[in-house]
Amino acid sequence: MIQTSTATRPAPAEIDRSVQGTVLFCFGSAIFWLLAGCLLHAVAGAKLVMPGFLDGIGFLTYGRVLPAATNAIAFGWASLSAIGVALWLCARLNGAMLRASALIVSAVVAWNAAVLVGVLAILAGSSTGIPGLEMPGGVSVVLLVAYLPIGLWALSTFRTGAPGFVSQWYLVAALLAFPWLYTTANALLVWQGTPGSAMGAIFAWFDSGFFGLWLLPIALAAAYYFLPRAAGRPVFSRGLASLGFWTLVLCAGWMGTSRFQGGPIPAWMVSAGVVAAILLILPAIAVSSNLYLTIGDACERLWMQTPARFLITSAVFFLGWVSLLIIVTLPPVNSIIQFSLVNPGLTQTALHGIASLAFIGVLYALLGVRHPESTITPRSSLVFWLIVTGVGLILCASFFGGFFQGFALSDPIVTFANSITYAAPFRWVELAGHLCLLAAAAGLARDFAEQLLVSSPAQAPKPAAAQRPEVAAV
Amino acid sequence: MTKLIAGLVVAVGSSWAAMVAYPFAKLATLQPEVSEETGGLLPPPLPGNAIAGQRVYAANGCVHCHSQQVRPAPFATDIARDLGTRQTVARDYLRYDPAFLGLVRTGPDLSNVGVRHQEAAWFFRHLYEPEQVTPGSIMPSFRYLFEEREIQGQRSALAVDVQGPHAPKPGYEIVPKQDAIELVAYLMSLKRDYPLTEAPPPPPAE
């Protein structure tokens, strides 16, 4: 790790100037992928309610459009914005200037090119068929190579000694977990195949880890960084923060196999997955209560600040998502809803309700550094409510529709066709949710472009937030 | 920092050992059984076309709608719903790479679709015009896996008996491309009706 002495620590404004171009480039390209992914997801949703819509065309068939959408969102939007958040927070927390921005920008360009090739390859019919890992093997090699300078630089900003800030723990965890997860999954499932049902367990480990050890920790790092600063108070309890962190990194890897209840993998693996999913309540309660107690009576004031509103809601979604996940993981419930709309709906809730909201909150904080604006603007408020409404519609539709569908799929005297009929109205609601997310992405893209055009770093006044001393718990 | 990284390696590494290394070492190396009845291998080897068909199944994202898992009773009602006569177990999948276990049933489970339907013609027509074969189906049409061509002499043995709005012009026929032939071979190979030590056949009905 690079030593960065306190005496030579640059001013926060200087740090921001060194990283903001790179981070804004990450976010700019991520927003393109959010738009593309939401559009593709809306097309896939429309195909489920109107099977004749764009039917019979190879590259637009449902089974290609859906994975193209999920990969664009996971690797284009979520991962690129997570990288942007990680770069900025590592620089801020560790007092590091980004001097190798050309290298990092080149890596982000390569990342974008790889995702573009990957998404087009899925549409063209070169999918691997492994959910979440559909992009061809060559694409994942480029993504890992592109990640190398990004991850190494971010980790190199950490000084020796125990990281003092809670956000730092989450950043280290995420930065190390991503290459571990992605290399393992590609080596065993994509670059060379693993025959048999082992694939299910390995895929489950990757899939739950991709959210729980990569995207979620970066979202929580952002919450632990920005919310105490905005409230002007240190993190309420370091002990609670530690409990939340360690239980999350333990449970996130183990919980994946809970989705294979009754499936062709050993029962102990499934049981371990169910226990881990239930134990996820510990980090959810620890994190949300810690943040709530940190904010305290400043909640109303923070609600009027764009980044804080996004981050608070993200933490609320975290608690809500875990609570629902536990309910649907309990075996008597799981046996009914296992193959229904419920699980895809919960995945969307986690992705957009937790990760997207948090990352967009950070983006507004960064735009705020260039263009200080403490109160929420009508445009950012619209983006916020469109995402919350979109996620809310998808969650309600998948939950209620999923239970109807699940009961139909479980009852031996109900035909399979009835399970389609029961789910149909809820699929329309789900489509409305995806259209809200698409509108939010369009609103965000417009807001982003306008704010970049109206302010330039040279004109931007000194950031108020950046001048304040670090107030997170040490 | 060292303690943090060591803690992470232990926390994440424990799940890696259990959920990645263990199944890779144990499940991926399962061997077929020798049938006491016939002396053949169980599960039986796949025909070449069926192996190739996995690529077509992957390319078209069939796994996003169809599971391939029969869960045991009394946990689930899969057997009562005739998705199979017994639960599917790890050994059932050792011929498949990847094994398309699936996570949703927007379409029906396909673990035993090769038992339920044994005519290739049914599969071809269902892929071409699903709504005509299964009224109410929301499955997309895979017309792009077929070609319309002029009938030269005799009608092709593989020509699809199309009855819906996408019927060929007079004098023409709809025939499956190689991808469709391989996909159907794969689907017809999906039969988990043989007995295994860990998944014996169900007791005969009284």
What is the reported pTM? 0.93
A264 and B166: CB-CB below 8 Å? no
Q: Which residue of B has its CA nearest to A122?
A: B59
Q: Which residue has the higher pLDDT, A177 or A299?
A: A177
DSSP designation for B145: G
Q: Which residues contact A372 (CB under 8 A, 6 or more apart)?
A: A460, A461, A463, A464
Look-up of token digits 């068929």: A129
What's the CA gap between A8 and A15, in Å, rounded? Answer: 12
A129 and B76: CB-CB below 8 Å? no
Chain B within 8 Å of A267 (Cβ-Cβ)? no
Look-up of token digits 């590091």: A96
What's the CA gap between A327 and B88, in Å, rounded? Answer: 26
Q: Are A123 and A68 within 8 A, CB to CB?
A: yes
Torsional class of A121: left (φ above 0), alpha (ψ -120 to 50), beta (otherwise): alpha
Q: Are A268 and A300 within 8 A, CB to CB?
A: no
Distinct helix (H) and strand (E) counts, chain A: 19, 0
Question: Cβ contacts (< 8 Å) between B27 and chain A: which residues?
Answer: 196-198, 201, 265-266
What does the pLDDT read at residue A374?
A: 57
Which domains does chain B carry? 33-188 (1.10.760.10)
Which of the given ranges, A8-17, A71-80, A194-203, B146-155, has the highest pLDDT on average? A71-80
CB contacts under 8 A, A 159-198 vs B, are: 159-163, 169, 172-173, 176-177, 180, 184, 188-189, 193-198
DSSP designation for A187: I
What does the pLDDT read at residue A363?
A: 94
DSSP designation for B169: P
What does the pLDDT read at residue B1?
A: 84
Picking from B27, B59, B72, the nearest residue to A197 by CB comes out as B27
What does the pLDDT read at residue A33?
A: 98
What does the pLDDT read at residue B48?
A: 95
In this model, does residue A2 exceed pLDDT 50?
no
What's the CA gap between A224 and A220, in Å, rounded? Answer: 6
Q: Burial letters for B150-186: b for 16+ Cβ neighbours within 10 Å, e otherwise?
A: eeeeeeeebbbebeeebbbeeeebbbbeebbbbbbbb
- Specify the range with the lowest mean pLDDT, choosing from A27-41, A245-259, B23-37: B23-37
Three-state secondary-structure class, residue B150: strand
Q: Burial letters for A271-288: b for 16+ Cβ neighbours within 10 Å, e otherwise?
A: ebbbebbbbbbbbbbbbb
Distances (CA, A) of A141 to A137, A145, A203, B57: 6, 6, 18, 24
What does the pLDDT read at residue B206?
A: 58
Please give the interface size between A and B, counted as residue pairs whose CB atoms are below 8 Å apart. Answer: 251
Q: Is B14 exposed, middle or buried (0-12, 13-18, 19+ CB in 10 A)?
A: middle
Give residue-wise pLDDT tens across range A210-245.
Answer: 999 999 999 999 999 999 999 999 999 999 999 999
What does the pLDDT read at residue A6?
A: 47
Within a 10 A sphere around the Cβ of B30, how many other Cβ atoms?
17
Alpha-carbon torsion A467, A472, B2, B4, what sign?
negative
Q: Which residues contact A380 (CB under 8 A, 6 or more apart)?
A: A306, A364, A447
B144 and A338: CB-CB below 8 Å? no
Q: Is B42 exposed, middle or buried (0-12, 13-18, 19+ CB in 10 A)?
A: middle
Which domains does chain A carry? 12-456 (1.20.210.10)
What does the pLDDT read at residue A47?
A: 96
Q: Which residue of B has its CA nearest to A155?
A: B1
Which one of B103, B110, B145 makes the best mutation probe of the A interface by having the most chain A beta carbons within 10 Å?
B103
- When computed from its CA atoms, the radius of gyration of chain B, rounded to whole angstroms, is 21
Q: Which helix (H) or strand (E) holds B89?
A: none
For chain B, which residues score pLDDT lower than 70?
Answer: 205-206
Distances (CA, A) of B175 to A140, A175, B57, B159: 36, 51, 19, 5
Question: Cβ contacts (< 8 Å) between A172 and chain B: which residues?
Answer: 1, 4-5, 8
Residue spans of beta strands (DSSP E) within chain B: 33-34, 41-42, 146-150, 172-176
In this model, does residue A460 exceed pLDDT 50?
no
In this model, does residue A162 exceed pLDDT 80?
no
Chain B within 8 Å of A413 (Cβ-Cβ)? no
Three-state secondary-structure class, residue B201: coil
Q: Are A209 and A177 within 8 A, CB to CB?
A: yes
Q: Are A318 and A287 within 8 A, CB to CB?
A: yes
Is the ipTM beyond the 0.90 threshold? yes
Three-state secondary-structure class, residue B148: strand
Q: Which residue has the higher pLDDT, A88 or A454?
A: A88
What does the pLDDT read at residue A470?
A: 34
Q: What is the share, in percent, of chain A residues with pLDDT greater than 90?
A: 81
Which one of A182, A197, A258, A342 makes the best mutation probe of the B interface by having the most chain B beta carbons within 10 Å?
A197
Which residues make beta-bridge pairs with B196? B199
Q: Are A349 and A388 within 8 A, CB to CB?
A: no
Give which of A445, A78, A172, A351 is closest to A343, Cα–Cα: A351
Give residue-wise pLDDT tens across range A65-94.
Answer: 999 999 999 999 999 999 999 999 999 999
Give which of B107, B104, B71 is closest to B89, Cα–Cα: B71
What does the pLDDT read at residue A337?
A: 95
Give residue-wise pLDDT tens across range A342-401.
Answer: 999 999 999 999 999 999 999 999 988 765 555 678 889 999 999 999 999 999 999 999
Q: Are B27 and A265 within 8 A, CB to CB?
A: yes
Question: Cβ contacts (< 8 Å) between B18 and chain A: which residues?
Answer: 254, 269, 272
**Closest Cα in chain A, distance from residue B156 (Å):** 22
B59 and A126: CB-CB below 8 Å? yes
Q: Are A237 and A104 within 8 A, CB to CB?
A: no
